Chains A and B, each alone.
Chain A
Amino acid sequence: MSAVTAPAAPVPARRLRIGPAWRRPLALVGVTVALGWVVLAAFAPWIAPADPLAQEAARFLPPSAEHLMGTDGLGRDVLSRVVHGARISIPLAFMLVALSLVFGAVVGAVSGYVGGKLDEVLMRVVDLFFAFPAIILSMAVVAALGPNLRNAVLAIVVVSWPVYARVTRSLVLSLRNSEFVASSRLLGISSIRALVREILPNVAGPVLVLATLELGNAVLLLSGLSFLGLGAVPPTPEWGAMVSEGARTFGFWWVGVFPGLAILSIVLAFNFLGDSLRDALDPRTARATRGTSA
């Protein structure tokens, strides 16, 4: 509680204090695992022992030296499919978060800065989206558009932008009337310029933290939709779809467990990363969580 004495007022964005790595072991784990997956995704064709689509081996071979994670119901190498799965989940997670962030932040910033009627309307629209559980709403969107990976991404963007809108709006609201914004306006800077030059840099930190935390969520939602048969179309090696096959063929644990572990590790990594980033960039919430855990 006492170590970090951050002022309650907005902190200028550039005053970051990232301590030595050993003080943040979880951050180190998160960064390592996430980077590891990014490397795997980038070099998948060279790392994976086999073609993820080739149905060459016998079905349901247990893990062995030849197939480290066994083979699935169609005789495909599970390890190769897990490695290639990273090429789908990770880039799509980043894309999803970027899209939702941009859309949500713009709506939130405008809403908070302009205020009044527009704010009311936009925030009720946001409430509307919050009223439904994310997975149910995204299922409805995919069902309406037709099940494939592109529509799943769209559906997840539709359900995840409101979070960014909310957070951005509240930050903009609190900054709008602060002295440095007021003084910059007194100097004759236009509204838009004030928003972009003065307010947004101060908003960026917390929103980026949120985005990192949401990365894990995005992976989960995407694989969740694929698990339900609403995302990746076969034979795409998508983790959620692979877990779904594993759930159907329960006697052969390796079919579902390895892609499940892949999802678990990347989601945890993104969450560790997000937590640590929050500690560094957003001391207010960091202090609050530390206070409760101490």
Chain B
Amino acid sequence: MSGPRRRVGFAALCAGALALTACGGDAEGTGATAGDLPETLVVDKAFDLKTADPGRQFEVAGTIVGRALYETLVTFEDGDLSEVAPALATEWTVNDDATEYTFTLEEGVTFADGSPLDSDDVVFSINRVKNLKGNGSFLVEGITAEADGPGTVVLRSEQPNPQLLRILPRPSLGILNADAVRENGGTDAPDAAETDTAEEFLNSQSVGTGPYVLDQFSTSTETVLAANPDYRGEAPPFQRIVLRNVEGPTQAMNVQSGQSHIALDLASEQLAGLRGDPNLLIDEVASPNIWFTFANADPAVSEITSSPDFREAVRYGIDYDGLLEIAGDGAVRVPGIIPNVFFGALDQDQAPQRDVERAKAAVERLGGPVTVELEYPSDFSANGLSFGPVAERLQAGLAEVGVNLELKPGPIATTLETYRNGQEQMGLWLWAPDYPDPADYLAFGPGELVGKRAGWQAGAAPEIERVMAEVAGESDDERRAVLFEEFQQLMNEEGVMFPVFQPTAAVVASADIGAVPFHPAWTLDLTAIGR
């Protein structure tokens, strides 16, 4: 019994340190070699799958599928988000103010149908995503792609865009065979949102350069990928990959009985029942999702929550350790608004610590105990964690300092609306990164997307906004890291956001395919399994 336990522990340890390459070696050492791999890989995932069209997908399941079918200009290797690696582009140059990126494409790359890839395909794919005006279009907003000969592509940005290299690996920006898509109703014209009709075609077959091709597509039952025999890299280790739509509790049974190889949506309670099973390898790490609560800064929404004293009471009254307990074994405290997998994240010791006396003093300044509403979605869970228990723990901790929360759970359809309209006095929500660059978290600043949802308008915190403006125009990563840290320190002093934790993200894999690490950007990297 101790053998497998140790192995699981080691896998989790490796993953926790994000030393994922080191883990790969261990998995091979403990039995799984390429020769033992099954022909078909079965993956269970609760589907949020909507489409296999890269330009239209922005969901987790779509990202997992897209990553296996299509390649991007640049990529992340082995789950390491700190640096981008070459993919379809072998090299690139960036001008000084990060407004012009020049990519040199790899020569001799062919799509799964045998036709060669050139700069036209790249230009078409990127402009199409932008002009489809779908959920992923903001990734390349203000970006124009142009060909400079068949082997070179230039991306121009209206604003300095130092995060672009970390945006490009997102599978939404996979490169499609332009001719095939055009023949089937696709277009990258500015009116593509109305005129592009290629989605049905792209749901029937894939036109990418990735190691797998689309065999069968369903958003409700199962989606099947087949190996791409002409893939230019190392031959794909599985003949077929079956991605099945299965809910969490059933996933646990399937992976335990050997009916599936990978389970992705297990809650910590379900994981508890799987630990110690010698046939399973469990990778538990902190998810890049952050859970946060906020106090609305708009006096029209609440005179209480908009007071700086209230913010102070909440910031130092939250029982951070107690919340972490709810969030699962691999969960960590998020010290600033940026999760620990990205550069610019604060160190743990810079996180606000609970200080009951200080919080009580702030409540005194408010004139004694106060009662405000806390809204959260009651029918939604992520990483197997639902909002209800977290809200109840938050309530219990804050009650101790005199901040009484009246819980207002509701279906996500209605709570999301009040949240987006900036009408919640306090809210409990999560943020999943759009792309692995800290620039994504500027959305929490005053006058930005999430800031405005908390009633925090532009001009509310000039000091923070000065740093935000500075970092937006900075292209040097070292300097950016410093500025992002300053941004978060200021947010931790006077901001209206209270980042709480990053919950556990777990991947359970059967031992015969080896350890499968959680991927911080794509959840699961199908192309990395079995290698």
- List A residues at the B interface (Cβ < 8 Å): 53-55, 59-60, 73-74, 143, 146-147, 229, 233-235, 245, 248-252
Contact = CB atoms under 8 A, between A and B. Distances in A.
Contacts of B351: none
Nearest to A244: B388
A234 B379 CA distance: 13
Contacts, number: 53
Contacts of B411: 143
13 contacts: A55-B322, A73-B269, A74-B392, A233-B408, A234-B388, A234-B392, A235-B407, A245-B388, A248-B267, A249-B267, A250-B249, A250-B269, A250-B270
Contact of B395 (A60, A229, A235): A235
Contacts of B272: 251
Given A55-B396, A250-B269, 4 more contacts: A54-B396, A143-B411, A146-B410, A233-B407
Contacts of A60: 269
A59 B325 contact: yes
B269 A235 contact: no
A249 to B, nearest CB: 4
A74 B378 contact: no
B405 to A, nearest CB: 10
4 smallest beta-carbon distances between A and B, as pairs:
A249-B269, A229-B378, A235-B392, A55-B396
Contacts of B346: none
Nearest to B386: A248
Interface of B: 249, 267, 269-270, 272-273, 322, 325-326, 378-379, 386, 388-389, 391-393, 395-396, 407-411
B393 A74 contact: yes
Contacts of B269: 60, 73, 248-252
B416 to A, nearest CB: 15
A55 B270 contact: no
Contacts of A250: 249, 269-270
A73 B530 CA distance: 37
Contacts of A235: 392, 395-396, 407
Task: Label chain B's interface by main secondary structure.
Answer: helix
A251 B267 CA distance: 11
A204 to B, nearest CB: 41
B389 A73 contact: yes
Nearest to A54: B396
A184 B285 CA distance: 83
B46 to A, nearest CB: 14
Nearest to A56: B396
B409 A53 contact: no
Contact of A53 (B270, B273, B396, B410): B396
A146 B414 CA distance: 10
A251 B322 contact: no
Contact of B409 (A54, A229, A245, A249): A229
Nearest to A248: B386
A134 B497 CA distance: 42
Nearest to A241: B388
Contacts of A229: 378-379, 409
B270 A251 contact: yes
A234 B386 contact: no
A59 B402 CA distance: 24
B61 to A, nearest CB: 22
A234 B393 contact: no
